[in-house]
């Protein structure tokens, strides 16, 4: 919701009405950062859910909080400059891979071990 609100504020600030997605470069960066975060959210929620159920709730929750923090830093970095997104982007990708590994390990343990 925070990211969507930032897009709304930027639309007002730069006078860009929906459905337009182009205009001031700062608005375009804010809009793109929000869209990128929204695109990854279903993947994140799915992996978080499976890792929490089949591996360990605490470990999944810790990874989830770190992921949300890195996406917040990604959003902040992207709104300032496009290069500011790279560090947090790589960190959030590593956390998604970690969640995937936890989910797979949990599923394998659940279905293959007696």
The residues that are catalytic are 12, 85
Answer whether the bond into residue 26 is a cis peptide, omega within 30°: no
Using the structure block, give the residue that is written with the tokens 């790589």. 90
Beta strand residue intervals within the chain, DSSP E: none
How far is 20 from 84, CA to CA, in rounded Å?
25
């Amino acid at each position: 919701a925070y990211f969507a609100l930032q897009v709304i504020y930027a639309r007002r600030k730069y006078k860009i009405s929906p459905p337009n997605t182009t205009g001031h470069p700062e608005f375009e960066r804010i809009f793109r950062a929000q869209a990128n975060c929204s695109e990854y959210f279903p993947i994140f929620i799915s992996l978080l859910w499976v890792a929490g159920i089949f591996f360990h709730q605490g470990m999944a929750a810790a990874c989830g909080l770190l992921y949300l923090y890195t996406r917040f830093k990604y959003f902040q970095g992207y709104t300032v400059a496009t290069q500011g997104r790279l560090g947090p982007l790589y960190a959030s990708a590593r956390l998604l891979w970690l969640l995937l590994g936890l989910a797979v390990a949990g599923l394998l343990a659940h279905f293959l071990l007696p």
